[in-house]
């Protein structure tokens, strides 16, 4: 059993002292991931074969054997709906909602545009999809079919031409049929039984058997995150995912049972997951603590060892904070400092509070919108910035699979009007070839 305490800070400085961006990847993890990345970069397939045997228990003589065959994808696509009809129904509903949400996102994403600020000058922007994207899908002991949908749908809608997926195999050396069903459904036929840092390295640099991509997206363990940080620059990445987080702002009308359930839902992710309640009412906070104890007991009785109570208790002990302050505006400011991955607003006037939220990855309004609907079904993306990165980052979306190119077009007369400014600036910066690139066009002052 753990002992959860209520804190009653009165000023923001007290909050800033414990809201630290202190999640760091251990040096030993970085060193190990770096060695794997460098080896795959240097030795390609031979390194992959070695690491797949070492970490995933797959023994192959040729790295091409790590690829999932078309026959395996087709068989899963045919069999899974028969074997798991309710699961497929849920996945199809999730897929449909993700399409609706991200299609709307696509329609509102800035498209190409041009302006004519002066006569003879034409400026603008064009948007083109990234050509090759690698998806990292967690696997092995736990399966996350929702991550396939969340990572792939926006890429497909954005128009990415080549999508390559890597996911760790199960103990039998195969990829679970549920994941294969989704790959087949989405038309992703380049799938490899590779996990960990070695998968990230293969996607980033390419090997004899695996094509290099331009960007890698998708969550993974700490070695995957370390590898993504190492290869960033050679390729783009979506984010560096840390432990999951939830912050709940609750007023006196909130339901402690719902609050407790949602705090528990995030704490079961990881020992380092953060669960924070910001309440205006002390009684609500006290009842929430009572409900946490009650619900963990009920879940253990209902699910037995499937429910990892020890993990949840350790997570709550390390990272659960219950803050009470009667001033709702104070709690909103606390939330903006935390910049949580997930934010739930269990308040009587969500829309008013929402206007004051500046930093949050995904926001869930009202008592009947738990984070779980965003994780699985509503259509928003569950790949969300963690570790306070919501201060400057966004959830995964179609915009992550586009790149923008600026366009400039000057006429002879326009360049002649502004040549003196370019010449002055380039001369000051001692970039004389820049200066010459303007002068040469007017050497004879003959219009071309």
Q: Specify the long-range contacts of residues 409-415, CB closer than 8 Å, at least 24 apart.
A: 409/121, 409/122, 409/123, 410/120, 410/121, 411/119, 411/120, 411/121, 412/120, 412/447, 412/448, 413/119, 413/120, 414/118, 414/119, 414/120, 414/121, 415/441
Give how many domains the chain has, as a whole number. Answer: 3
Cβ atoms 341, 236 nearer than 8 A: no
pLDDT attached to residue 148: 96
Is residue 374 domain-shared with residue 439, that is, in the same domain?
Answer: no
Is residue 199 domain-shared with residue 333, that is, in the same domain?
Answer: no
Is residue 246 domain-shared with residue 223, that is, in the same domain?
Answer: no
Quick check: is 14 in a domain? no
> What integer is the mean pLDDT of 128-149?
90
What's the CATH code of the domain at 158? 3.40.50.1980
> What integer is the mean pLDDT of 198-218?
96
pLDDT attached to residue 39: 93
pLDDT over threshold 70, residue 320: yes
Is residue 228 domain-shared with residue 254, that is, in the same domain?
Answer: no
Is residue 204 domain-shared with residue 249, that is, in the same domain?
Answer: no
pLDDT tens profile 91-114: 999 999 999 999 999 988 778 899
Question: Pick from 221, 182, 171: which is nearest to 191 by CA?
Answer: 182
Quick check: is 11 in a domain? no
pLDDT attached to residue 26: 83
> What integer is the mean pLDDT of 397-410?
95
Quick check: is 230 in a domain? yes
pLDDT attached to residue 167: 95
pLDDT attached to residue 156: 97
Q: How confident is the model at residue 446 (pLDDT cuts 50, 70, 90)?
A: low
- What CA–CA distance (Å, rounded) separates 384 from 423? 46
Domain boundary among 192, 222, 237: 237
Is residue 435 domain-shared with residue 357, that is, in the same domain?
Answer: no
Quick check: is 366 in a domain? yes
Is residue 174 domain-shared with residue 70, that is, in the same domain?
Answer: yes
pLDDT over threshold 90, residue 3: no
**Active site residues per annotation:** 341-342
Domain boundary among 219, 237, 255: 237
pLDDT over threshold 70, residue 405: yes
Average pLDDT, the chain: 93
Is residue 349 domain-shared with residue 424, that is, in the same domain?
Answer: no
Global confidence as pTM: 0.91
Q: What percent of the chain has pLDDT over 90?
A: 81
> What integer is the mean pLDDT of 349-373?
96
pLDDT over threshold 90, residue 129: yes
Question: Pick from 388, 391, 366, 369: which is nearest to 378 by CA?
Answer: 369
pLDDT attached to residue 448: 53
pLDDT over threshold 70, residue 185: yes
Angstrom CA distances, 402 to 104, 106, 290, 317, stand at 15, 10, 48, 42
Is residue 179 domain-shared with residue 70, that is, in the same domain?
Answer: yes
> What integer is the mean pLDDT of 73-84?
97
Q: How confident is the model at residue 57 (pLDDT cuts 50, 70, 90)?
A: confident
Domain boundary among 209, 237, 265: 237
- What CA–CA distance (Å, rounded) separates 76 from 430? 64
Q: Specify the long-range contacts of residues 19-25, CB closer than 8 Å, at least 24 apart.
A: 19/337, 19/338, 19/388, 21/387, 21/388, 23/242, 23/243, 23/272, 23/386, 23/387, 25/222, 25/225, 25/226, 25/229
Is residue 220 domain-shared with residue 255, that is, in the same domain?
Answer: no
Quick check: is 17 in a domain? no
Q: How confident is the model at residue 17 (pLDDT cuts 50, 70, 90)?
A: confident
Cβ-Cβ contacts under 8 Å for 25 (sequence gap 6 or more): 222, 225, 226, 229
Identify the burial level of 335 via C-beta atoms within 10 angstroms of its C-beta, where 0-12 means exposed, 13-18 middle and 19 or more buried. buried
pLDDT tens profile 149-180: 999 999 999 999 999 999 999 888 899 999 99
Quick check: is 255 in a domain? yes
Question: Pick from 81, 100, 83: which is nearest to 91 by CA?
Answer: 81
* Residue ranges making up the domain that contains 320: 242-392
pLDDT attached to residue 21: 57
pLDDT attached to residue 447: 60
Is residue 177 domain-shared with residue 113, that is, in the same domain?
Answer: yes
pLDDT attached to residue 1: 63
pLDDT over threshold 70, residue 145: yes
């Amino acid at each position: 059993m753990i002992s959860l305490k209520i804190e009653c800070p009165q000023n923001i400085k007290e909050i800033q002292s414990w809201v630290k961006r202190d999640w760091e990847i251990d040096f030993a993890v970085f060193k190990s991931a770096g060695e794997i990345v460098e080896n795959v970069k240097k030795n390609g397939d031979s390194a992959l074969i070695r690491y797949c045997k070492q970490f995933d228990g797959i023994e192959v003589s040729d790295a091409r054997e790590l690829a999932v065959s078309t026959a395996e994808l087709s068989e899963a696509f045919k069999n899974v709906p028969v074997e798991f009809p309710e699961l497929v129904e849920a996945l199809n509903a999730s897929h449909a909602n993700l399409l609706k949400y991200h299609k709307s996102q696509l329609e509102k994403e800035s498209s190409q545009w041009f302006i004519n600020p002066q006569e003879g000058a034409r400026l603008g922007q064009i948007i083109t999809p990234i050509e090759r994207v690698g998806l990292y899908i967690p696997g092995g002991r736990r399966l996350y079919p929702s991550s396939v949908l969340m990572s792939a749908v926006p890429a497909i809608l954005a128009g990415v031409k080549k999508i390559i997926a890597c996911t760790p195999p199960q103990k039998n050396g195969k990829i679970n049929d549920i994941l294969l069903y989704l790959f087949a459904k989405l038309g992703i036929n380049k799938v490899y039984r590779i996990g960990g840092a070695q998968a990230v390295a293969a996607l980033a640099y390419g090997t004899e058997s695996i094509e290099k991509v331009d960007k890698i997206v998708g969550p993974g363990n700490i070695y995957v995150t370390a590898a993504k940080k190492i290869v960033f620059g050679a390729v783009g990445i979506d984010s560096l995912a840390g432990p999951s987080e939830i912050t709940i702002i609750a007023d006196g009308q909130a339901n402690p049972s719902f609050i407790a359930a949602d705090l528990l839902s995030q704490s079961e992710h990881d020992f380092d997951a953060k669960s924070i309640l910001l309440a205006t009412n002390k009684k609500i906070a006290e009842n929430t603590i009572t409900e946490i104890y009650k619900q963990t007991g009920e879940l253990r009785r209902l699910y037995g060892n499937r429910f990892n109570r020890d993990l949840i208790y350790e997570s709550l002990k390390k990272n659960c904070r219950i803050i009470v302050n009667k001033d709702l505006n104070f709690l909103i400011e606390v939330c903006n400092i935390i910049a949580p991955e997930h934010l739930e607003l269990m308040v009587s006037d969500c829309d008013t509070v929402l206007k004051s939220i500046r930093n949050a990855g995904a926001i869930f309004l009202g008592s009947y919108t738990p984070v779980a609907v965003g994780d699985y079904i509503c259509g928003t993306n569950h790949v969300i910035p963690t570790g306070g990165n919501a201060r400057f980052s966004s959830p995964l979306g179609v915009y992550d699979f586009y790149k923008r190119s600026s366009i400039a077009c000057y006429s002879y007369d326009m360049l002649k009007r502004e040549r003196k400014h370019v010449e002055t600036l380039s001369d000051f910066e001692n970039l004389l070839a820049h200066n010459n690139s303007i002068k040469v066009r007017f050497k004879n002052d003959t219009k071309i």
